[in-house]
Protein backbone atom coordinates (compact mmCIF):
# COMPACT_ATOMS: atom_id res chain seq x y z
CA UNK A 1 0.00 0.00 0.00
CA UNK A 2 2.81 2.46 0.87
CA UNK A 3 4.63 1.70 -2.40
CA UNK A 4 1.44 2.29 -4.41
CA UNK A 5 0.81 5.57 -2.57
CA UNK A 6 4.40 6.74 -3.15
CA UNK A 7 4.20 5.82 -6.84
CA UNK A 8 0.87 7.63 -7.19
CA UNK A 9 2.28 10.73 -5.49
CA UNK A 10 5.37 10.72 -7.75
CA UNK A 11 3.20 10.44 -10.86
CA UNK A 12 0.92 13.24 -9.68
CA UNK A 13 3.90 15.53 -9.03
CA UNK A 14 5.23 14.88 -12.56
CA UNK A 15 1.81 15.37 -14.14
CA UNK A 16 0.92 18.67 -12.45
CA UNK A 17 3.92 20.25 -10.73
CA UNK A 18 7.50 19.39 -11.74
CA UNK A 19 8.71 17.12 -14.53
CA UNK A 20 12.25 16.21 -15.61
CA UNK A 21 13.35 16.53 -19.25
CA UNK A 22 16.56 15.61 -21.07
CA UNK A 23 18.11 18.03 -23.60
CA UNK A 24 18.02 16.23 -26.98
CA UNK A 25 20.01 18.59 -29.24
CA UNK A 26 22.64 21.30 -29.34
CA UNK A 27 20.11 24.08 -30.03
CA UNK A 28 20.37 25.53 -26.49
CA UNK A 29 24.18 25.44 -26.17
CA UNK A 30 26.04 26.92 -24.36
CA UNK A 31 23.23 27.28 -21.78
CA UNK A 32 22.19 23.62 -21.92
CA UNK A 33 24.27 20.76 -23.32
CA UNK A 34 23.05 17.64 -25.12
CA UNK A 35 22.10 15.04 -22.49
CA UNK A 36 21.80 17.57 -19.68
CA UNK A 37 18.68 17.15 -17.55
CA UNK A 38 16.40 19.95 -16.39
CA UNK A 39 13.40 20.30 -14.12
CA UNK A 40 10.34 22.05 -15.52
CA UNK A 41 7.68 23.82 -13.45
CA UNK A 42 4.37 22.75 -15.02
CA UNK A 43 2.23 24.84 -12.64
CA UNK A 44 3.77 28.34 -12.86
CA UNK A 45 2.04 29.47 -16.06
CA UNK A 46 -1.37 28.69 -14.61
CA UNK A 47 -0.74 31.61 -12.26
CA UNK A 48 1.24 34.04 -14.44
CA UNK A 49 2.18 34.77 -18.03
CA UNK A 50 5.43 33.56 -19.59
CA UNK A 51 8.14 36.24 -19.78
CA UNK A 52 10.73 37.20 -22.35
CA UNK A 53 13.92 35.32 -21.48
CA UNK A 54 12.17 32.29 -19.94
CA UNK A 55 13.50 28.92 -21.04
CA UNK A 56 10.46 26.75 -21.64
CA UNK A 57 9.45 23.26 -22.71
CA UNK A 58 6.61 23.20 -25.22
CA UNK A 59 5.01 21.32 -28.08
CA UNK A 60 6.16 22.72 -31.45
CA UNK A 61 3.88 22.91 -34.47
CA UNK A 62 3.24 19.67 -36.34
CA UNK A 63 6.11 18.98 -38.72
CA UNK A 64 8.70 21.04 -36.81
CA UNK A 65 10.45 17.89 -35.58
CA UNK A 66 11.06 16.89 -39.21
CA UNK A 67 12.47 20.25 -40.28
CA UNK A 68 11.20 23.71 -41.12
CA UNK A 69 7.40 23.81 -41.41
CA UNK A 70 5.72 27.19 -41.56
CA UNK A 71 1.93 27.47 -41.53
CA UNK A 72 1.85 30.09 -44.32
CA UNK A 73 3.94 31.23 -47.27
CA UNK A 74 6.15 34.18 -46.37
CA UNK A 75 9.01 36.24 -47.86
CA UNK A 76 12.56 34.87 -47.43
CA UNK A 77 13.55 38.00 -45.46
CA UNK A 78 10.87 37.39 -42.79
CA UNK A 79 10.57 34.92 -39.93
CA UNK A 80 7.65 32.50 -40.14
CA UNK A 81 4.65 34.55 -38.93
CA UNK A 82 2.24 31.65 -38.26
CA UNK A 83 2.64 28.01 -37.17
CA UNK A 84 0.92 25.02 -38.72
CA UNK A 85 -2.52 24.37 -37.23
CA UNK A 86 -1.70 21.17 -35.39
CA UNK A 87 0.74 20.66 -32.55
CA UNK A 88 3.37 17.95 -32.43
CA UNK A 89 3.48 15.36 -29.67
CA UNK A 90 7.23 16.04 -29.35
CA UNK A 91 8.71 18.35 -26.70
CA UNK A 92 11.16 21.15 -27.53
CA UNK A 93 13.07 23.47 -25.22
CA UNK A 94 13.91 27.06 -26.27
CA UNK A 95 14.03 30.62 -24.94
CA UNK A 96 11.12 33.07 -25.33
CA UNK A 97 12.34 36.16 -27.23
CA UNK A 98 9.00 37.87 -28.06
CA UNK A 99 5.44 37.74 -26.80
CA UNK A 100 1.88 38.55 -27.86
CA UNK A 101 1.57 41.78 -29.86
CA UNK A 102 5.35 42.33 -30.20
CA UNK A 103 6.92 43.05 -33.57
CA UNK A 104 10.02 40.99 -34.27
CA UNK A 105 12.82 40.90 -36.80
CA UNK A 106 16.29 39.34 -36.50
CA UNK A 107 19.69 41.04 -36.92
CA UNK A 108 22.91 39.03 -36.70
CA UNK A 109 20.98 36.31 -34.85
CA UNK A 110 19.67 38.74 -32.22
CA UNK A 111 15.96 39.43 -31.84
CA UNK A 112 14.84 42.98 -32.59
CA UNK A 113 11.66 43.34 -30.55
CA UNK A 114 9.52 46.44 -31.00
CA UNK A 115 12.47 48.15 -32.71
CA UNK A 116 14.99 47.39 -29.93
CA UNK A 117 17.81 44.95 -30.70
CA UNK A 118 18.73 42.65 -27.82
CA UNK A 119 22.51 42.38 -28.20
CA UNK A 120 23.30 41.73 -24.53
CA UNK A 121 22.90 37.96 -24.76
CA UNK A 122 26.03 36.39 -23.23
CA UNK A 123 24.23 33.04 -23.09
CA UNK A 124 24.12 32.67 -26.91
CA UNK A 125 26.46 31.28 -29.53
CA UNK A 126 26.92 33.52 -32.60
CA UNK A 127 24.55 32.95 -35.48
CA UNK A 128 27.08 32.96 -38.30
CA UNK A 129 25.92 33.58 -41.84
CA UNK A 130 22.88 31.30 -42.03
CA UNK A 131 19.73 32.29 -43.89
CA UNK A 132 17.86 33.02 -40.63
CA UNK A 133 20.59 35.15 -39.04
CA UNK A 134 19.18 38.27 -40.69
CA UNK A 135 15.42 38.56 -41.13
CA UNK A 136 14.91 42.33 -41.52
CA UNK A 137 11.20 42.30 -42.38
CA UNK A 138 9.30 42.47 -39.05
CA UNK A 139 6.39 40.20 -38.15
CA UNK A 140 3.78 40.76 -35.45
CA UNK A 141 3.36 38.02 -32.86
CA UNK A 142 -0.34 37.02 -32.70
CA UNK A 143 -2.34 37.28 -29.47
CA UNK A 144 -1.58 34.45 -27.00
CA UNK A 145 1.51 33.36 -28.99
CA UNK A 146 5.22 33.35 -28.14
CA UNK A 147 8.30 33.41 -30.36
CA UNK A 148 11.11 31.00 -29.43
CA UNK A 149 14.79 30.94 -30.34
CA UNK A 150 17.50 28.51 -29.29
CA UNK A 151 20.62 29.96 -27.65
CA UNK A 152 22.80 28.30 -30.31
CA UNK A 153 21.39 30.70 -32.90
CA UNK A 154 23.14 29.22 -35.95
CA UNK A 155 22.22 25.63 -35.04
CA UNK A 156 18.64 25.92 -33.83
CA UNK A 157 15.41 25.05 -35.60
CA UNK A 158 13.02 27.40 -33.87
CA UNK A 159 10.21 29.91 -34.42
CA UNK A 160 12.20 31.56 -37.19
CA UNK A 161 11.35 28.47 -39.26
CA UNK A 162 7.98 27.29 -37.88
CA UNK A 163 6.44 30.38 -36.30
CA UNK A 164 5.30 31.54 -32.86
CA UNK A 165 3.51 28.97 -30.73
CA UNK A 166 0.19 29.31 -28.89
CA UNK A 167 0.35 29.67 -25.13
CA UNK A 168 -1.63 26.47 -24.56
CA UNK A 169 1.19 24.46 -26.22
CA UNK A 170 3.59 25.54 -23.45
CA UNK A 171 4.28 22.75 -20.94
CA UNK A 172 6.25 24.77 -18.41
CA UNK A 173 9.31 26.79 -17.43
CA UNK A 174 12.70 25.15 -16.96
CA UNK A 175 14.03 26.33 -13.61
CA UNK A 176 16.90 24.02 -12.63
CA UNK A 177 19.40 21.55 -14.00
CA UNK A 178 20.23 18.40 -12.03
CA UNK A 179 22.44 16.32 -14.33
CA UNK A 180 25.37 16.06 -14.83
CA UNK A 181 26.48 16.90 -11.29
CA UNK A 182 29.00 19.52 -12.43
CA UNK A 183 26.13 21.51 -14.05
CA UNK A 184 23.64 21.44 -11.13
CA UNK A 185 22.05 24.83 -10.67
CA UNK A 186 19.03 27.13 -10.81
CA UNK A 187 18.27 29.39 -13.81
Which candidate in 27, 88, 105, 159 is catalytic? 27
Residue 27: active-site member: yes
Answer yes or no: are the C-beta atoms of 135 and 112 closer than 8 Å.
Answer: no
Distant-in-sequence, close-in-space partners of 17: CB < 8 Å, separation ≥ 6? 41, 42, 43
For residue 135, what are the CA distances in angstroms to 68, 131, 142, 171? 15, 8, 18, 28
Which candidate in 25, 48, 87, 94 is catalytic? 94
Pairing of strands 135-140, 55-58: unpaired
- For residue 135, how many other CB atoms are within 10 A of its CB? 23
Residue 94: active-site member: yes
d(CA 2, CA 74): 57
Distant-in-sequence, close-in-space partners of 9: CB < 8 Å, separation ≥ 6? none
Phi/psi for 169 (5° steps) reads -90, -5
d(CA 39, CA 81): 30
Q: Which residues are known catalytic residues?
A: 27, 94
Amino acid sequence: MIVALALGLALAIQAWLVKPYQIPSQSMEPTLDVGQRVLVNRFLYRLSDPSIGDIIVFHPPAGAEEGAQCGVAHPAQEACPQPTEGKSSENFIKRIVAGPGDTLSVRDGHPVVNGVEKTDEPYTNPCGNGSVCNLPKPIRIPPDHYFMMGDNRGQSDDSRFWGPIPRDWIIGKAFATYWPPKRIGIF
